Structure 1
Amino acid sequence: MAFDGIFLHLIKNEISSRLLGFRVDKIHQPSKEEILFTFRTYEGSEKLLLSAKADSSRIQLTSQFIENPKKPPMLTMLLRKLLCGAKLVDIRQEGFERILTLVFDARNDLGDPVEYRLIIEIMGKYSNIILVDKKNKIIDCVKKIDESKSSVREILPGLTYRLPPEQDKMNILSDSIADIEARMKALGTTRGKAASKVIQGVSPIVANEIEFDLSLSGLREHIANPVPTAVILDKPKDFTYFMPHQYGDLCTYKVFDTLSELVDYFYYEQVRIERIRQRSNDLFHRLNTLKERAVRKSVNRQRELDECADKDRYKIYGDLINANLHRLEKGSMFYDLENYYDEMKPVRIPVDPTLTPAQNAQRYYKTYRKKQIAQDKLLDFIAEADSEAEYLDTVIDELTRATTDSEISAIRDELRSVGLVSNSGAKASRQKKLSPRMFKSSEGFTIFVGRNNVQNDRLTLKTAKNYDLWFHVKDAPGSHVIVEAQKDKPFTDKVIRQAAMLACVHSKASMSSNVAVDYTIVKNVHKPNGAKPGMVIYDDYKTEYVTPNEEELSEVIEVE
């Protein structure tokens, strides 16, 4: 992740501008490695989160609701005793080191002024939050490091706090660009690797950008005018303080007003997506297994069908033998006959010498009839297996786009209803039906988007009216999209395009370009008898080709 020294410097400035001079109101410890401060400011309460988690170490202002334990840990009680009511008077950072020191003016039990410092070290698995006094004596810490864990630097109550060993790196703001460039060039390696080794506070994403096309003067400009940006590839991938170019069109980008909003979004999405992934893991495994089984069944049946392709040859052999019974005798290994089906060309027919010619003819007829019956049944089996694989593909697509526990539960219920998931362990209580997503177009049209196959059926076949517009991506799994008709207001090209974009982004083709989206009035959409949920047929349709983009989609507002 890109919570590097430079990013920490920028977020330090942001926190300083909003919290310096204000007092601590509340202190909580949401988890063993997180501390949450609430400050009283002129604008109201501000929450400051410090995390020493290995995979999400950071400091940030947050607006998220964070649940706190009912019984506060001992460290929380100590922090409350020493820092509640204390004023934040300074935030310090040595160069671009990933260490921040929060300096508090507090009062002791006698009412005398006393200084405490809360140090957060943002170093991956070595991250820590350490409370020290004015003389740098450690009072307590989130992670206690004794000599068994580190022979170089112990962190324990009572010891003197020492900074980690300094790295011999240069400061992009205070050192000259010429000196930095000379030192990078002397390493004789790629520009990105050299930047990581020479410049202080540079993360991999920034180093790669320097490798790609970013100049050092350009980096200075980004530091002076940060643009908080999240890089998204299906899910949040990385973040930094400027718009990166190294990913090109492979990723999408989301820009925020503040660095804290960016970090809030990034880690909230990371946690949410991971939680959803864990909850849906068993379903993904089950669905993929069922789909592989259906595909394998179709392939095997197709192989058997290919073996039936020569069935007519067996009928011809039977006919030729019957036509020449007067010439044939029992005991031959084969019969050499003229094929009157193929311009009397000679043909050698293998036979069973223990059978009479008539019996050999009947044996070929029997094989022909067997293959003919098998062919008819195999075509049905293949169609059924292909239909099941296609349906499972739509459910897998739904699951990849599920963002809430309710949506996952609805998909699970759908699979139970078609017998693909066991009813054992299902809750007896009926869950509230999910509503489709609802959007307002820029011209005031209401657009509905189905969340799953059952809801697609209900939306298209029961809720929508005959002359509403229906949209679906062509030849790919996706949501049904309905544009509600309005009296005396015809559908416009713009709303058709916006609805087609929504159909595209809520489908398996969401990352593709120039996607074909079919649309027609609901009256032309029908469900075949016995079809699986979400499966429909339609006629008299038109096709809109779209490539979703943020600018056009931003004109369509989702209604909560």
Structure 2
Amino acid sequence: MPIDGLFLNKSIREAKKFEGQKIRNIYQPVNDEVLLQLQNGFLLFVLKNPSYLISLDEKPNMPDTPQNFSMFLRKRIKNAKINKIEQLGLDRLGYIDLSVIDETFELKNFKLYFELMGRNSNILLVDEKNKILDALKKGITSNRSIMPGAEYFPFYNTEYINVLEHEKVDFDTIKQLMGFSKISKILFFDYLDKYDYFSFISEFLDNNNVYIFDYNGKKEILSFRPVNYEYETFNSPSKGLLNFFEINSINSRFTELKKKLEKTVIKEIEKYEKLYKKLKKEENELKDIPILEKQGRLLQAYLYQFKEKTDHIIVYDWETEENVQIKLNPLKTPNENLQIIFKKVQKLKSKSEHLKERLKITKEMIDYLYQLWQSIDLAEDIETLQEIKEEMINERLITEKSSKKKMKRKESNPYEFYYNGFKILVGKNNIQNDKITREADRDDIWLHAQGIPGAHVIIKSNKQEVPEDVLLFAASLAAKYSKGRYSSKVSIDYTQKKHVWKPKGAKPGMILYNNFKTLYVEPAK
């Protein structure tokens, strides 16, 4: 994310409104953040990756106990006056020039340097002799020493080109530009290809706007206008950053929740498919019922011939006109073996009815889980995922309790499309699928991908005949929002809503239908 020297330039220009104000207090919310409370606002330094400087109107939540570095700064620069805030060149560092009268009534001058360079970020207090008094991160490297008493050397390369100070530069040959991230450097040359250097400088210095845009599937923020992309403009870097972090926070929560829900559903699918396989194996055992019944009848018919215990008998089968061998338990009498066979037959018959019901319920659950997985996969916003999560809680797939006292959740709406005067609704999840189908008029057209998980699609007919081109368009949407969305052709069933019904006790989104026709369409792009 390109919060680079160019972006810092605008952040410092915004922070210059604090020049002339006094530092009322210093906080350290966490180890890598330092907050200056000023007379009319707050200045926050974030010293982790991404590192940045942001101006705030309101005080964020602070811990009650100050950390060591903030206590040191309070002792030295609390009530200090900010004389100026400057950037070094166009790189990701700068300083705040401070003056304060100490306890001996002597005027002291300090510089609070800030180096906003990702994981190498730091903030240091330097005296008027350029000696380090203290730093948030101390250490010694081959290039410099960041220890109290050491001379401070800025961590940047003065040989790099500062584009704000060089009018005559051949950018085709210059690669070492100061203050540019990889992305902003690419977009800078895009700007030069479309306009020119002087237009860039004029526009950059003329305003303090920043821009949020999509770049390779991610949201990015930039200090100058990305000429080849659609963007949203913010008239202050701080407002842009706050909006950017809010978007990223939502995207992060969306991704995290999506992975969590998918993981839960996949685990349930594996569990129920394993159960289904086990039940099918048991069902296969029921094929022995006719054989056992036949053996029982034959043993009963010839029982009078056998009195002694034996491990088998051979009897004549009058139906097949062949001799049949029946294995017996040698520890039991033939009569006891007969009772064992009859009991086993009765047990298997009883199990058969129960097994059929369990197979039906398990298959329905597997179908529902695949439908649920499809809804999660197709979800495009956090509200849709929250609705799916609520559904999973209600179906006891997630053990988290659904609190009645919680804040009202923002509900998502189904997708709406309009084609040749007809309104088309597409459910985003099972709850919406049920809702749009339930609320559809009897003559509305209902569509769904044949035999695979997918969204319910409703064409609002308004009691008019729906033209073929509208049917085809709606069918292409049903294909797009289904498991077959990457196929070249998808079978889509359609019928009037009056031929669609929900069986009693069916899971969300699960329905039955009849009197349907089928279209074969390519998924909508």
* TM-score w.r.t. length of structure 2: 0.64
Instruction: Report the alpha carbon displacement of residue 350 of structure 1 after superposing the two structures with TM.
Output: 0.8
Match of 1:335 among 313, 318, 325: 313
Instruction: Report the alpha carbon displacement of residue 436 of structure 1 after superposing the two structures with TM.
Output: 2.4
Structure 2 counterparts to residues 512-523 of structure 1, below 5 A: 512-514=486-488, 516=490, 517-523=492-498
Kindly tell me: are residues 220 and 519 of structure 1, through their superposed partners in 2, closer, same or farther at Cα, counting changes over 3 Å?
same
**Contact kept in structure 1, 2:424 and 2:457, CA below 8 Å:** yes
Instruction: Report the alpha carbon displacement of residue 295 of structure 1 after superposing the two structures with TM.
Output: 3.0
Q: Are 2:444 and 1:468 aligned? A: yes
For 2:221 and 2:409, the matched residues in 1 are separated by 40
**Contact kept in structure 2, 1:230 and 1:240, CA below 8 Å:** no
Kindly tell me: are residues 220 and 270 of structure 1, through their superposed partners in 2, closer, same or farther at Cα, counting changes over 3 Å?
closer
Unaligned runs of 5+ in 2: 37-41, 102-106, 161-168, 192-211, 223-227
For 1:35 and 1:519, the matched residues in 2 are separated by 62
Q: Are 2:525 and 1:534 aligned? A: no
**Contact kept in structure 1, 2:502 and 2:511, CA below 8 Å:** yes
Give the partner amino acid of 1:469. Answer: I
* Alignment correspondent of 2:137: 144
**Contact kept in structure 2, 1:22 and 1:88, CA below 8 Å:** no
* Alignment correspondent of 2:152: 161
Look up the SS of the partner of 1:312 in the other structure: helix
Kindly tell me: are residues 429 and 58 of structure 1, through their superposed partners in 2, closer, same or farther at Cα, counting changes over 3 Å?
closer
Q: Are 2:205 and 1:230 aligned? A: no
Match of 1:307 among 285, 288, 298: 285
**Contact kept in structure 1, 2:279 and 2:359, CA below 8 Å:** yes
Instruction: Report the alpha carbon displacement of residue 157 of structure 1 after superposing the two structures with TM.
Output: 7.0
For 2:497 and 2:93, the matched residues in 1 are separated by 63
For 1:338 and 1:199, the matched residues in 2 are separated by 100
Q: Are 2:17 and 1:24 aligned? A: yes
Structure 2 counterparts to residues 391-410 of structure 1, below 5 A: 391-398=368-375, 401=379, 403-404=381-382, 408=386, 410=387
* Alignment correspondent of 2:207: none
Kindly tell me: are residues 362 and 441 of structure 1, through their superposed partners in 2, closer, same or farther at Cα, counting changes over 3 Å?
same
Look up the SS of the partner of 1:24 in the other structure: helix
RMSD of aligned alpha carbons: 5.9
Instruction: Report the alpha carbon displacement of residue 531 of structure 1 after superposing the two structures with TM.
Output: 0.9
* Alignment correspondent of 1:380: 357
Deviations 1:131-178 (A, max 9, x none): 76898665876x43256xx79755467754335598xx9xxx98999x
For 2:447 and 2:419, the matched residues in 1 are separated by 18
Instruction: Report the alpha carbon displacement of residue 414 of structure 1 after superposing the two structures with TM.
Output: 3.4
Structure 2 counterparts to residues 426-441 of structure 1, below 5 A: 426-428=403-405, 431=408, 434-441=411-418
Instruction: Report the alpha carbon displacement of residue 349 of structure 1 after superposing the two structures with TM.
Output: 1.9
**Contact kept in structure 1, 2:138 and 2:147, CA below 8 Å:** yes
Look up the SS of the partner of 1:542 in the other structure: strand
Give the partner amino acid of 1:161. Answer: Y
Match of 1:122 among 104, 112, 117: 117
Unaligned runs of 5+ in 1: 38-46, 94-99, 181-197, 207-218, 242-253, 550-560
* Bigger CA radius of gyration: 2
Kindly tell me: are residues 117 and 425 of structure 1, through their superposed partners in 2, closer, same or farther at Cα, counting changes over 3 Å?
same
**Contact kept in structure 1, 2:130 and 2:152, CA below 8 Å:** yes
Look up the SS of the partner of 1:144 in the other structure: coil
**Contact kept in structure 1, 2:306 and 2:334, CA below 8 Å:** yes
Which has the higher mean CA deviation after the structures are superposed, 494-503 or 310-319?
494-503
For 1:430 and 1:442, the matched residues in 2 are separated by 37
Instruction: Report the alpha carbon displacement of residue 12 of structure 1 after superposing the two structures with TM.
Output: 4.2
Instruction: Report the alpha carbon displacement of residue 92 of structure 1 after superposing the two structures with TM.
Output: 1.5
Kindly tell me: are residues 282 and 349 of structure 1, through their superposed partners in 2, closer, same or farther at Cα, counting changes over 3 Å?
same
Q: Are 2:461 and 1:485 aligned? A: yes
**Contact kept in structure 1, 2:87 and 2:93, CA below 8 Å:** no
Structure 2 counterparts to residues 219-368 of structure 1, below 5 A: 224-225=189-190, 230-232=215-217, 236=218, 256-257=230-231, 268-276=246-254, 290-325=268-303, 328=306, 330-339=308-317, 342=320, 344-353=321-330, 355=332, 357=334, 359-368=336-345
Could you tell me the percent identity over the aligned residues?
21
Deviations 1:468-527 (A, max 9, x none): 33344444444434343357684563685367437735x5666x3447354443223210
Kindly tell me: are residues 474 and 275 of structure 1, through their superposed partners in 2, closer, same or farther at Cα, counting changes over 3 Å?
same
Kindly tell me: are residues 174 and 491 of structure 1, through their superposed partners in 2, closer, same or farther at Cα, counting changes over 3 Å?
same
For 1:52 and 1:348, the matched residues in 2 are separated by 86
Deviations 1:431-488 (A, max 9, x none): 4683523534365654444454334322211x22223333444444444343433576
For 1:199 and 1:420, the matched residues in 2 are separated by 54
Deviations 1:211-230 (A, max 9, x none): xxxxxxxx997761179753
Match of 2:90 among 92, 95, 105: 92
Aligned residues: 468
Kindly tell me: are residues 421 and 121 of structure 1, through their superposed partners in 2, closer, same or farther at Cα, counting changes over 3 Å?
closer
Kindly tell me: are residues 163 and 472 of structure 1, through their superposed partners in 2, closer, same or farther at Cα, counting changes over 3 Å?
farther
* TM-score w.r.t. length of structure 1: 0.61
**Contact kept in structure 1, 2:283 and 2:355, CA below 8 Å:** yes
* Alignment correspondent of 1:504: 480
Q: Are 2:93 and 1:101 aligned? A: yes
Look up the SS of the partner of 1:313 in the other structure: helix
Kindly tell me: are residues 454 and 268 of structure 1, through their superposed partners in 2, closer, same or farther at Cα, counting changes over 3 Å?
same
Look up the SS of the partner of 1:332 in the other structure: coil
For 2:149 and 2:519, the matched residues in 1 are separated by 73
